Structure 1
Amino acid sequence: MGNLTATRPLKPWTAPTASDPVAATLRLPGSKSMTARALVLGALANGPSTLAGPLRARDTELMAAGLRGMGAHMSISDDERWLVRPHRLVGPAHVDVGLAGTVMRFAPPVAGLADGRITFDGDPQARTRPLGPLIGALRSLGVRIDVAGPDSLPLTVLGVGRVAGGEVVIDASASSQLVSGLLLAAPRFDRGVVVRHVGPPVPSAPHLRMTVQMLRAAGAAVDDTVPDVWTVEPGPLAGRGWQIEPDLSGAVPFFAAALVTGGEVTLKGWPHSSAQPVERLRELLQLMGGEVTLSTDGLTVRGTGAVHGLDADLSDVSELTPALTALAMLADSPSRFTGVAHIRGHETDRIAALAREFTALGADLTESHDGLHIRPRPLRGGTFRTYADHRMAHAAAVAGLAVPGIELDDVACTSKTMPEFPALWSAMVTGKS
């Protein structure tokens, strides 16, 4: 089941069990994915940018700190409105990536544009995450990179103030972020970039579509009409205002609570046109027994009193796998999830970790190379290890709605993307704020 060593200080937290159907209206923090992309585009623009409703969490604060270290001006003291002013990118600087895939894959292409030495490192687990394809791609585009180990952190980008750019072939089957990182910086490359993916399908396609949409919104010329090929022309990026959507991935555990308890959860502030895969989420939740509606009040999920299993390829929404796995264990029929082999290289090997921790609570789960087969049966309470992974914590919280006594060894790992998760979750379950 892989190396699943937890190394963070642990803070136990007992997941609250629901005695009644939940009824909650929530306003959740902004999208991590949109916040990270807006910060990078703002740092590379030709004028100031603002982020309205950004996510303040460990990952996004690390991104802001890394870009600030390279010279961009970041004002993030106001929780509701961040300001980014571009400036000449220079070294020396050190970027702490923490355990954030966005930082370790979006910031090195930016560092190639800096004049000076930019070093990168992060949490111990970060050194196991795949960076080889990005390192090779940047080198072929003219960026000098020194790597201490086997194409992973720590690494040093020796920037000369410009990147030649051009055409590059990459296997991005491990993460769509490998492509997004190249595309976001590409307008500032001398010749732009043509990225050709060769290999198994790129996962999390909606995140790539978000990257393209946001680049175009900032004035970049992007052609993605040819499958697995992305062309970005060189040119200026405009500073602009970004309205950050609520985080859909972060909302999924709360929506799952509506199904588990037969209740209703509304996410306020949801836009009618979204860059996130809301239609795919709607489809999955409806198949599992939920009713999903979008109105002026927000995005609402209602439970019908039953949870159904399903057979689904989750390759385009792999971040949802842990919460959906917990939901599937409480269903009235088996489930099979496929297409998520790449989540073995996320914060932890999520497939192995889900199988190990839920099996310890009495679940019947079988790993495959790219997913899980879940056969529901009664669970018992016990300790659930999170491995510093916020999505593992979300999964345990969902299961805890129906199973008393599930104790997370470290709920603080949710600060990676939602520091207020424990308080919001407890308030939803108990009805007390």
Structure 2
Amino acid sequence: MFLIGSLFGKFMEESGAADSVARWVIERLGARVRALNGDGCLPVEFTGGGLAGGPAWIDVSSSSQYASALLLAGPILPRGIDLTLRGHVVSAPFIAMTAGSMAEFGVRVERPAPDRYIVPAGQRYVAREYRVEPDATAASYFLAAAAATGGSVRVDGIGSGSAQGDLAFVDVLARMGCEVVKEADHIEVTGPERLVGVEVDMGGISDTALTLAAIAPLATGPVRITGIAHTRAQESDRVAAAVTELRRVGAEVEELPDGLVVLPSRDRLRGASIRTYGDHRVAMAFAVLGLVVSGMVIEDPACVAKTFPDFFDRLEQLVSVA
């Protein structure tokens, strides 16, 4: 059930529809899936005496989470799993982080080729004490706040040795003129007087793309964000949402098939009521811009509860300390 929930959960929580690729993989591994109403949506019924495992492939051009789910389940499958990735891998660092975490719990993951992962059968997870790092994606909003305001923010508990891919967001901030300090146990960002423009493929760290887009109008040069076409099918069409809401606050933006270009617009920005489209990342990203642009109202702020229920309390604490 862990594997089934992992494969189907993300897609179903957003649309209620069963992902055909995830369904194919589950059936390939030995189970059957049937939508009870015949429409490919919830409720669904799973039938099988357990998944056998063995060779499988999955398209990872829309999400790396399917691959992570299959790898995590590998040790409990009688034949293990020999997984081939197809398509352009988005958020690739998360797959590497999954394999690394499995190793810390005693499970060996082999990678004989860049697009192939093998979890040999006959392994089992070993219980241990484990410290969970702060979430680098959640931290990105506060680090972006430093970049936008010219202040300093330090996040403890996550440092230079972290395997979290989204920590690379601070490297983007460094290219924009921020001072970034990475120590073993913390990250600190200090914003410049003015940010500079940057061109960056954010396919590997796409959860932070909205954060960058929100502060992009503050830069002195264009900010070009590419590699995020897959985010059009996430909690919202995040490319379209970013373009629409940036234009709402007065920014000059060009929409691309796989991203956007934000032109310097600091002097044109104005307060506005921001639609969040039920997307937690839209709400949090534009709240950061609201630290610089007065009169910003975030509609449906409760949508942040999906990943960060007390985000606005934490943001208020940050502002009060500053």
TM-score (norm 2): 0.91
Q: Percent identity?
A: 36
Match of 2:242 among 354, 372, 393: 354
After TM superposition, the runs of 4+ consecutive aligned structure 1 residues lying more than 4 A away are: 120-123, 148-154
Look up the match of 1:176.
Answer: 64
1:405 to partner: Cα distance: 0.8
- Alpha carbons 2:136, 2:167 under 8 Å: kept: no
Are residues 1:216 and 2:106 paired? no
- Alpha carbons 2:147, 2:195 under 8 Å: kept: yes
Superposed CA offset, 1:327-367 (max 9, x none)? 11111111111111111111111111111122122222222
User: CA separation in 2, counterparts of 1:375 and 1:280?
Assistant: 23
Look up the match of 2:16.
Answer: 127
Are residues 1:367 and 2:245 paired? no
User: CA separation in 2, counterparts of 1:183 and 1:239?
Assistant: 18
SS at match of 2:145: helix
User: CA separation in 2, counterparts of 1:317 and 1:150?
Assistant: 34
Amino acid aligned to 1:281: F
Superposed CA offset, 1:189-248 (max 9, x none)? 11011111222x110011101110111112222112301111111222212222100111
Are residues 1:427 and 2:314 paired? no
User: CA separation in 2, counterparts of 1:387 and 1:291?
Assistant: 33
- Alpha carbons 2:93, 2:165 under 8 Å: kept: yes
Are residues 1:290 and 2:178 paired? yes
SS at match of 2:253: strand
Look up the match of 2:135.
Answer: 247
Look up the match of 1:163.
Answer: 51
User: CA separation in 1, counterparts of 2:284 and 2:23?
Assistant: 32
Alignment of 1:81-230 (within 5 A): 104-106=5-7, 123=13, 125-127=14-16, 131-147=19-35, 148=37, 153-160=42-49, 162-199=50-87, 201-230=88-117
Look up the match of 1:398.
Answer: 288
Match of 1:256 among 134, 144, 150: 144
SS at match of 1:137: helix
1:407 to partner: Cα distance: 0.4
SS at match of 2:113: coil
- Alpha carbons 2:21, 2:58 under 8 Å: kept: yes
1:138 to partner: Cα distance: 1.1
Higher relative contact order (CA 8 A, sep 6+): 1
Unaligned runs of 5+ in 1: 1-65, 68-101, 109-119
Look up the match of 1:273.
Answer: 161
CA pair 279-410 structure 1, distance change in 2 beyond 3 A: closer
TM-score (norm 1): 0.69
Of 362-371 and 254-263, the range deviating more from structure 2: 362-371
1:105 to partner: Cα distance: 2.9
User: CA separation in 2, counterparts of 1:229 and 1:215?
Assistant: 16
Superposed CA offset, 1:284-336 (max 9, x none)? 11011111112367211011211111110001100000110011111111111
User: CA separation in 2, counterparts of 1:302 and 1:149?
Assistant: 55
SS at match of 1:319: helix
SS at match of 1:203: coil
CA pair 297-236 structure 1, distance change in 2 beyond 3 A: closer
Amino acid aligned to 2:94: H
Give the aligned CA root-mean-square deviation in angstroms: 2.3
User: CA separation in 2, counterparts of 1:370 and 1:213?
Assistant: 30
Look up the match of 1:31.
Answer: none
Superposed CA offset, 1:17-59 (max 9, x none)? xxxxxxxxxxxxxxxxxxxxxxxxxxxxxxxxxxxxxxxxxxx
User: CA separation in 1, counterparts of 2:228 and 2:11?
Assistant: 26
Look up the match of 1:42.
Answer: none
SS at match of 1:391: helix
Amino acid aligned to 2:150: G
- Alpha carbons 2:109, 2:119 under 8 Å: kept: yes
Amino acid aligned to 1:400: G
User: CA separation in 1, counterparts of 2:4 and 2:205?
Assistant: 20
Amino acid aligned to 1:419: P
Match of 1:388 among 253, 260, 278: 278
User: CA separation in 1, counterparts of 2:262 and 2:277?
Assistant: 21
User: CA separation in 1, counterparts of 2:43 and 2:250?
Assistant: 39
1:169 to partner: Cα distance: 2.0
- Alpha carbons 1:121, 1:153 under 8 Å: kept: no
1:127 to partner: Cα distance: 2.3
Amino acid aligned to 2:106: G
1:107 to partner: Cα distance: 7.0
1:149 to partner: Cα distance: 6.0
